[in-house]
Structure 1
Amino acid sequence: MTTRWRGTAATALAMGLVLTPLSASAGYAWDRAAPASAAVAAPTPTPTPASGDFPVLTPAVAQQLDDAVRKVMRQASVPGVSVHLSAPGKGTYEKSFGVADKQTGRPMTPDLYVRIGSETKTFTVTAVLELVDEGKIGLDDPIGKYIDGVPNGDRITLRELAGMRSGLFNYSADPGFYKALTTDPDRPFTPQELLDYSFKHPVLFEPDAKFYYCNTNLILLGLVVEKITGEPLHEYIAREVIEPAGLHHTVFPTDAAFPSPHAQGYTNQTASGKVEDAADWNPSWGWAAGAIISRLDDLKTWAKVVATGTLLTPATQAQRLKVKEALPGAGYGLGIFNVQGWIGHNGSLPGYETLTVYLPESQATMVVVLNTDILYQGSIEPSTLFGQAITEIVTPEHVYNLPKPVTGTPSATP
């Protein structure tokens, strides 16, 4: 699931800005951000007067990007990665590196499906905001109006759930959950089972008191969508979000099925701690916070849809983009983050990480997908390393340097 903040093994499954089980992307789905000192330095080209803050993607710039991507791959031991970068009038850079399958040596290619972890949150929150636009729910409605049994349910609002300010405990940070998932990664989880892992813990703080990336919030929002629409979340999102956005290779799975061709995914979020291929793990534990599957071509379309509010009214999109500080240099709105001007989300799920962001100032899109969620030096999301290395070259005034989150669980990231 998208960007995540991972902490101890029990919290490792936080989907964060990345969903990673152990993140479904369940934690900060802002993928663990890399401190500047740990990032890969890359040469910065001098933009031409006509290019503004974003350079023309010339062969010389492309070579700098190639070098930076390969350097991150070596540093973080990433098997395979695909990168897309573009801006109107500046050209397009799109390239894959490394392997999609370490056993066979099959190359990484842009057409491979991957699990996007916490980027699922952007789809679920879009569905919620569409219902707001239709007048069926209100952002300041308490969750208790729709779902019974939620601690502080009479005071936690839908806005606070979408903004990661509810104070509820992140289910993916529960040791019992982590054990259940890693010992039997094929097992399905129901939304209520996920909530039960959360609700056995006391609330962490009063509603809206602070930011805390929490997958529990998205499970509740998914249930609200189901209650109001009367249909399964995956069906509603497919019809009202995925199809209108023009996404042709994006799927909200209900089991472990994985469209072909897909990249194999490598994780150390396992019962043994050894690296395993997690491609066939059941993503139900991420559900509304981290279960979706997509491809590079759809994600580059989705980046602009989310950041510009294509599916929402301008007033509701303005509410979505109203960020509050989450980490130094990074703000979180409603299921979306803003890191130095780049708007979007990251995602992490065992075996995979993604980063899908848009820079309105230059109308630039950046997408990174990779087939591992193993942290660099035990604390830094590899997707953050790629994002930082790339933006140091093309947008030195807007470097994607997501800070390291302070809380987390298995990913389903930020």
Structure 2
Amino acid sequence: MSYSPARLRGCAVVLTAVGTLVAPPVTGAAAVAHPPAATVTADPPAPSPPASGDDVRALTPAVTRQLDSAVRRVMRQAGIPGVTVGLWAPGKGQYVRSFGVADKATGQRMSPDLRMRIGSETKTFTVTALLQLADQGRLGLDDTIDRYVGGVPNGDRITLRQLAGMRSGLFNYSEDDGFFKALTSDPQRPFTPRQLLGYAFRHPVLFPPGQRFDYSNTNLVLLGLVVEKAGGKPLADYVKDNILDPVGLDHTLFPAGNEFPEPHAQGYTDQTATGKVEDAADWNPSWGWAAGAMISDLEDLRVWASTVATGRLPYGGVLISPATQKQRLTAPPTSIPGAGYGLGIFDVQGWIGHNGSLPGYESLTVYLPSAKATLVVLLNTDIGHDGQEPSTLLGDAITRIVSPGHVFDLPAEPAAR
């Protein structure tokens, strides 16, 4: 089987979105569901649409059963080992389920308490740090990158805003053939930010700054260096001190190497030198750094979904000023139908947030402001199905049931994966 560095383009997921769902309370902390054997059965009839004026459907027992069926169907079709889904919406209930296995070797079941690598959801943390520094007057979003990092092609023309909005025109280092060979030949090797930029800067710029949208991990590596310079400390420390601790995200971290705190799920990928599926849990995510290296769990991402989408802290106060948050959420159209991209955040049919994909893992954390609803999906594979991200397939199937007026129907971008 042949491999292309384009498979790694999303470094931590190619596309993102926001979501919100509702469901009745599940007995206990969470229900754990196991996919049935290979038999494929027809889905039950679609439940009635939401009442007029509602954006999400109450999770009655009938809707809950349909969600269970939809998740199992996608798992069978896409060959997903394990997945956890969380849906929360005020007044409509909640739905927390785990399906399948966290470890194919031992048969350990997937459960809601497991930590997972979250790939490109890291971008939401890096850009939040950038926006905080802008609020403090320690940088300007319309500063050019050459004020902070030297040697960037078009560095005197590319602004921090264009980097955060994926409109810089810089080549994506994770599409470089040399990078792909280096990573897959030794997945545990560390990469420095400057090494990653070296892979990008050997290529010409793709277009003048601001001309169009083009998702590139290079942009976030540069912004990580900006945060370090303006914030006066390593990126991981800045994120912990100014984002994770104030928000109360105790199970989220920015790893220095390939450490992966327990309990965690094993992750399965085919992005290998041999083309065979391997367990990537101990791979070093430093190659994703500010674009995709972070780790989290279901409960922390539930809290983060509304925080990043609103700029407000869970227990009062703001993480980002309203004026800056408004700029963040201004999401010009992209080349992806139905999707806009603001500053480190997607808006897909009203769902605000991001997805993530790193070898072995995918995630989706989205928020629907009109219903104050949240959807989080965590799975332990990044192996696509018919050109689609498995996290996107699950987001689509779930939202078609719960929020039919806001379907997370993010199409695959041919050049992205």
**TM-score, normalization by structure 2:** 0.90
Equivalence for 1:19: none
Q: Is the contact between residue 388 and residue 411 of structure 2 (CA under 8 Å) also seen in structure 1?
A: no
Correspondence 1:373 to 2:368: no
Match of 1:67 among 63, 66, 69: 69
Match of 1:395 among 393, 403, 417: 403
Equivalence for 1:298: 300
Match of 1:330 among 315, 329, 339: 339
Equivalence for 1:244: 246
Equivalence for 1:83: 85
Q: Is the contact between residue 44 and residue 396 of structure 1 (CA under 8 Å) also seen in structure 2?
A: no
Question: Matched residues in 1 for 2:362 and 2:377: separation?
Answer: 8
Structure 1: which amino acid aligns with 2:391? S
Match of 2:390 among 367, 382, 386: 382
Structure 1 gaps, min length 5: 1-6, 16-22, 32-39, 410-414
Equivalence for 1:278: 280
Cα RMSD, aligned residues only? 1.6
Correspondence 1:2-401 to 2 at 5 A: 9-15=4-10, 23-25=11-13, 28-30=14-16, 43-47=45-49, 49=51, 52-310=54-312, 311-326=319-334, 327-377=336-386, 379-401=387-409
Cα 1:94–1:50 change in 2 (3 A) is: farther
Question: Matched residues in 2 for 1:182 and 1:79: separation?
Answer: 22
Residue 248 (structure 1) shift: 1.1
Task: Classify the secondary structure of the residue corresponding to 1:344.
Answer: strand
Task: Classify the secondary structure of the residue corresponding to 2:246.
Answer: coil
Q: Deviations over 1:126-166 (max 9, x none)?
A: 00000000011111100011110000000000000000000
Task: Classify the secondary structure of the residue corresponding to 1:368.
Answer: strand
Equivalence for 1:18: none
Question: Matched residues in 1 for 2:215 and 2:43: separation?
Answer: 28
Residue 50 (structure 1) shift: 7.6
Residue 230 (structure 1) shift: 1.8
Question: Matched residues in 1 for 2:125 and 2:46: separation?
Answer: 34
Residue 408 (structure 1) shift: 2.8
Q: Is the contact between residue 49 and residue 404 of structure 2 (CA under 8 Å) also seen in structure 1?
A: no
Structure 2: which amino acid aligns with 1:363? K
Residue 402 (structure 1) shift: 0.7
Cα 1:189–1:88 change in 2 (3 A) is: same
Cα 1:304–1:41 change in 2 (3 A) is: farther
Higher relative contact order (CA 8 A, sep 6+): 1
Equivalence for 2:23: none
Residue 44 (structure 1) shift: 3.4
Residue 246 (structure 1) shift: 1.5
Question: Matched residues in 1 for 2:55 and 2:46: separation?
Answer: 12
Higher CA-based Rg? 2
Residue 232 (structure 1) shift: 0.5
Residue 387 (structure 1) shift: 0.2
Structure 2: which amino acid aligns with 1:341? G
Question: Matched residues in 2 for 1:100 and 1:43: separation?
Answer: 31
Structure 2: which amino acid aligns with 1:167? G
Task: Classify the secondary structure of the residue corresponding to 2:97.
Answer: strand
Task: Classify the secondary structure of the residue corresponding to 2:362.
Answer: strand
Structure 2: which amino acid aligns with 1:243? D
Deviates more, 1:47-56 or 1:194-203: 47-56
Q: Deviations over 1:348-382 (max 9, x none)?
A: 000000000000111110000000000002x1000
Structure 1: which amino acid aligns with 2:281? A
Q: Deviations over 1:39-69 (max 9, x none)?
A: x988532245388221111111110000000
**TM-score, normalization by structure 1:** 0.91
Equivalence for 2:316: none
Residue 228 (structure 1) shift: 1.0
Structure 2: which amino acid aligns with 1:66? D
Question: Matched residues in 2 for 1:261 and 1:403: separation?
Answer: 33
Structure 2: which amino acid aligns with 1:266? Y
Count, aligned residues: 385
Structure 1: which amino acid aligns with 2:8? L
Task: Classify the secondary structure of the residue corresponding to 2:247.
Answer: coil
Question: Matched residues in 2 for 1:56 and 1:198: separation?
Answer: 47
Structure 2 gaps, min length 5: 18-41, 313-318
Deviates more, 1:235-244 or 1:117-126: 235-244
Q: Is the contact between residue 184 and residue 272 of structure 2 (CA under 8 Å) also seen in structure 1?
A: yes
Task: Classify the secondary structure of the residue corresponding to 1:93.
Answer: strand
Question: Matched residues in 2 for 1:41 and 1:160: separation?
Answer: 44
Question: Matched residues in 2 for 1:300 and 1:103: separation?
Answer: 29
Q: Is the contact between residue 14 and residue 29 of structure 1 (CA under 8 Å) also seen in structure 2?
A: no
